[in-house]
Each structure stands twice: as C-alpha cells, then as structure tokens.
C-alpha cells in the first residue's frame, strides 16, 4: 500500500497555507554575511527539494485529529516548530540553534514513564538505530507514549544486522514486521517503489528514510 499523493499541485489537508509558507521560507533559512543564501533543506537533499517536501505531507497527515500535543523524538534542532503547532521536541544532544524543549534519550524507561503522555508523535530517522530483530519492539515503545498516531521514517542503512539483501528486497520483510504489530496503518510509503532511488543515494535519505509510515492505535479509529 503506497499513499503519498503530495506534489506541488495537491493541497495539504490540514494546513492549506503550507505550500505558500514553504515557498516563502524554503531558500531563505540561513543567511550569511555575504550575498548568498543557503537552505539547510537544500543541502540535506543535494538539490532534490521534492524529497524534503514529502516530509511536510506526512506531518500534515499526522495532524488529522488536531492533536493538542505532538512529541518529536530525536528532534535535532526541532525545525518543524517553524510550520506546525503544539510540538514538544527532545534529543540526546543540543546546540545554540536548537528549538528543542529538553534533552533526553529515548529508551524503554522513557517510554514507560511517558505512557500516553502525548496525543501524537513523530520520529524522523531517529529510532532505527537498533537491530533488525528489535524493530517491532522499538515501534511498540514509541506507540506507547502516544494516544493516537505516530509518524516514523526509517533508513534501512541505520538498522543493525539487517538481512544481507538490497534495500528494495527488505521492503516485503519490513511489511511483515509492520503488519504483525496490530496497529492501524494510516499510510506507508517506500520511495524506491515510486522510482526515486536517486533520492535515497543522496543525503536526503538521512532525513527522509527508505520507509515512511504512520501507525495509529485501533481504538482511536
């Protein structure tokens, strides 16, 4: 199941002005003292901007139920606060540019102490640094801290001890893991199946991931 209708001609569902906001903000993020401007998003993607715009679509879908709180796990500089409301972000590290709310590490203890603390959550390529065999448990730990739904993006390269096959051959195996967990699958998208392998060979894979999916607790559907 592939659900990713985002393109410049398709409106966002929950944030109809987002296209305009992205266009106004996209290339004017970091301004040096010289005569040129650099966007971190552009640098992450090595010029393939549409890859990053995909992420805006997924986050927009995360807001279908108007969450009053959204936890951003491994938020980095928590840049999504620039466009989306009610985000609380944390990361194991920080810097002077970060908009994160606190420093912490996501693990079983964090999950236990934050049971259904947040309405929704997201983790963009920040929860996949575990063994392939532990992926299901890692997803369960994340789902435990939200009442409704959670957006994940995973980079297969970051997962330890993956089966010794090409990333495209991991897709049905990953599907089996997701389907076995028993959550409602709101969307799941494998860019390689959409013919955009070149995006995954660039630095865009670092933020976008080889798979992007939103899961929800069935009782909320």
Q: Where are the domains of the chain?
A: 61-220
CA distances from 151 to 37, 124, 146 (A): 31, 8, 11
User: What pLDDT does 68 receive?
Assistant: 98
Topology of the domain covering 61-220: Rossmann fold (3.40.50)
User: What pLDDT does 130 receive?
Assistant: 96
Q: Is the pTM of this model over 0.75?
A: yes
User: What pLDDT does 189 receive?
Assistant: 87
Q: What share of the chain is helix, strand, coil (3-state, %, to 5)?
A: 40, 20, 40
Cα 171 to Cα 61: distance, rounded to the nearest angstrom: 22
Contact indicator for 129, 209 with CB cutoff of 8 Å: no
Question: From the first residue on, what is the mean pLDDT of each consecutive set of 10 residues in the chain (221 residues)?
Answer: 53 83 54 48 45 77 96 91 94 87 97 98 94 98 98 92 92 96 93 64 57 87 40
Q: What is the DSSP string of 20-63?
A: HHHHHHTT-SEE-SSS-EE-HHHHHHTT-HHHHHHHHHHHHHHT
């Amino acid at each position: 199941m592939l659900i990713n209708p985002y393109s410049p001609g398709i409106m966002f569902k929950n944030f109809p002005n987002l296209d305009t906001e992205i266009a106004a903000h996209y290339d004017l993020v970091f301004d040096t003292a010289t005569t040129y401007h650099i966007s971190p998003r552009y640098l992450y993607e090595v010029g393939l901007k549409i890859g990053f715009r995909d992420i805006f679509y997924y986050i927009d879908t995360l807001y279908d139920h108007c969450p009053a709180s959204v936890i951003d796990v491994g938020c980095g500089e928590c840049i999504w606060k620039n466009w989306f409301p009610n985000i609380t972000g944390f990361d194991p590290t920080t810097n002077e540019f970060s908009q994160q709310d606190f420093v912490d590490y996501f693990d079983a203890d964090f999950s236990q102490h934050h049971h259904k603390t947040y309405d929704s959550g997201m983790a963009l390529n920040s929860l996949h640094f575990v063994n392939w065999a532990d992926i299901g448990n890692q997803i369960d730990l994340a789902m435990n801290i939200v009442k409704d739904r959670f957006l994940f993006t995973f980079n297969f390269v970051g997962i330890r001890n993956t089966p010794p096959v090409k990333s495209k051959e991991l897709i049905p195996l990953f599907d089996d893991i997701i389907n076995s967990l028993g959550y409602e699958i709101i969307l799941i998208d494998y860019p390689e199946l959409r013919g955009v392998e070149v995006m995954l060979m660039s630095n865009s894979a670092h933020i976008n991931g080889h798979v992007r999916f939103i899961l929800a607790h069935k009782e909320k559907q």
